Amino acid sequence: MSIRNYKKIVSLSAPAITALGLHHVFDKKYSGRGHILMFHRVLPKDNRPRVHNHESLEIDPEQLEQTILFFKKRNYLFLSINELSDHLKSDTKRKFVVFTFDDGYIDNLIYAYPIFKKYGIPFTIYITSNFINARTVIWWYQLEEELLKKDQLIFTWQNQEHHLAAETKTQKEIAFEEVRKLITGTANPHQYLDQLSKFFGMAEEQLFAYTRSHAMNWDQLTELAKDPIVTIGAHTANHLPLKNLESDQLYAEIINSKIEIEDHIKKKIYHFAYPFGKKLEAGEREYEFVKSHHFRTAVTTNIGNIFTGHLNHLHKLPRVNINSLTTEDVLELQVSGMVSFFINGKDQVLQ
Ligand SMILES: [Zn+2]
- What are the pLDDT digits (tens) for 325-335? 888 888 888 88
Q: Same domain, yes or no, for 128 and 104?
A: yes
In the predicted model, is pLDDT for residue 9 greater than 80? Answer: no
* 213 within domain boundaries: no
Beta carbons of 87 and 35 less than 8 angstroms apart:
no
The rounded Å distance from CA 235 to ligand 1 centre is 7
The rounded Å distance from CA 103 to ligand 1 centre is 5
The rounded Å distance from CA 102 to ligand 1 centre is 5
**What pLDDT does residue 309 have?**
92
The rounded Å distance from CA 28 to ligand 1 centre is 32
Q: What is the pLDDT of residues 277-301, one digit of tens each?
A: 888 888 999 999 999 999 999 999 9
**φ, ψ for residue 105, nearest 5 deg:** -70, 145
**What pLDDT does residue 193 have?**
86
Q: Which of 345, 303, 296 is nearest to 87 (CA)?
A: 296
Q: Same domain, yes or no, for 251 and 106?
A: yes
* 212 within domain boundaries: no
Q: Same domain, yes or no, for 127 and 145?
A: no
**% of the chain beyond a pLDDT of 90:** 66
* 349 within domain boundaries: no
Q: What is the pLDDT of residues 248-272, one digit of tens each?
A: 999 999 999 999 999 999 999 999 9
**What pLDDT does residue 287 have?**
96
Q: Same domain, yes or no, for 116 and 253?
A: yes
Q: What is the pLDDT of residues 156-179, one digit of tens each?
A: 888 889 999 999 999 999 999 999
Domain boundary among 159, 176, 206: 206
Confidence tier at 323 by pLDDT (50, 70, 90): confident
* CATH number of domain containing 67: 3.20.20.370
The rounded Å distance from CA 6 to ligand 1 centre is 22
Rg (CA), the chain: 20
The rounded Å distance from CA 34 to ligand 1 centre is 22
Helix (H) or strand (E) holding 249: helix 247-251
Confidence tier at 91 by pLDDT (50, 70, 90): very high
The rounded Å distance from CA 19 to ligand 1 centre is 35
Beta carbons of 300 and 317 less than 8 angstroms apart:
yes
Q: How many helices (H) and strands (E) are present in the chain, helices listed first?
A: 17, 12
Domain boundary among 179, 206, 233: 206
* 184 within domain boundaries: yes
* 219 within domain boundaries: no
How many independent structural domains does the chain possess?
2
Report which DSSP code applies to 215.
B
Q: Same domain, yes or no, for 244 and 182?
A: no
Q: Which of 308, 261, 326, 283 is nearest to 124 (CA)?
A: 261
* 216 within domain boundaries: no
The rounded Å distance from CA 25 to ligand 1 centre is 33
The rounded Å distance from CA 329 to ligand 1 centre is 26
The rounded Å distance from CA 322 to ligand 1 centre is 14
**φ, ψ for residue 318, nearest 5 deg:** -80, 165
Report which DSSP code applies to 49.
-
Higher pLDDT, 269 or 340: 269
DSSP string, 250-300: HHIIIIIHHHHHHHHHTS---EEE-SS-STTT--HHHHHHHHHTT-SEEEE
In the predicted model, is pLDDT for residue 94 greater than 90? Answer: yes
The rounded Å distance from CA 39 to ligand 1 centre is 10
Q: Same domain, yes or no, for 113 and 168?
A: no
**What pLDDT does residue 351 have?**
40
pTM of the model: 0.89
Confidence tier at 99 by pLDDT (50, 70, 90): very high
Q: How far, in Å, CA of 212 to CA of 205, rounded?
A: 10
The rounded Å distance from CA 179 to ligand 1 centre is 18
Q: Same domain, yes or no, for 144 and 40?
A: no
Range of the domain at 241: 3-134+224-344
Q: Same domain, yes or no, for 29 and 128?
A: yes
